[in-house]
Amino acid sequence: DAFLELVRAGNPRPSVAEVAERSGVSHRSVFRYFADKDELARTAISRQEGAVVAMFALGIRSDTPLADRVNTLVAHRLSLFEEIGPVARLSRSLAPLQPIVSAEITRSRSFLRVQVNKLFAVELDAMEPLRAASIAAVLDVLCSFESIDLLRRDQGLSRDLAAEALVESMMQLLG
């Protein structure tokens, strides 16, 4: 919990000393529970995932009007990624060196990709197969953590402007 608090507060890679201080235990005590700093980070990431797992459900049916589905998905992804942002960035920084973290990111991306494909199956099924595959790939990228993080943090778009850009792009692709 202390590790997650530090990450959420803007420290992307807290030291063991910082975690120990925040949690009120000695530096040595941290290593009684975790083999190394990497295990501490993996455990924190896993804990974060458990806390937000309920946020992955969209709560909208695929027979809802297209505009409602697009707006719901965009609002959902913005909320989800806002909540997991600091830990998601940490995960992505650790992934090249930690196969467990990399595999979890791959699993999560796959789940979110399937979610998009199911939500827009009616529109995708009405397209020629190659076009549908390319549109599905673009929708997946538009709705990804990385794209939304770029829109919000690098491009400096407000939540409303990012949502507007995503909704407009998706409606153009699907409409």
Residues 144-158: tens digit of each pLDDT: 999 999 999 999 999
Q: What is residue 12's three-state secondary structure? A: coil
Rounded (5°) CA angle 112-117-119: 90
Give the chain's largest Cα–Cα span. Answer: 62
pLDDT at residue 129, as a whole number: 97
For residue range 54-81, what is the model confidence (pLDDT) as tens digits? 667 788 888 999 999 999 999 999 999 9
pLDDT at 15: 81
Over residues 18-35, the pLDDT tens digits come to 878 888 888 788 778 888
Q: Mean pLDDT, to the nearest integer, of 44-55?
A: 72
Check residue 158 and give its pLDDT. Answer: 98
**What pLDDT is stored for residue 14 in this prediction?**
77
Q: Which residues contact 67 (CB under 8 A, 6 or more apart)?
A: 171
How much of the chain, in percent, has pLDDT values that exceed 70?
97
pTM above 0.85, yes or no: no
HSE (CB half, 13 Å, CA atoms) of 134?
Answer: 5
The angle subtended at Cα 54 by Cα 63 and Cα 15, nearest 5°, is 140
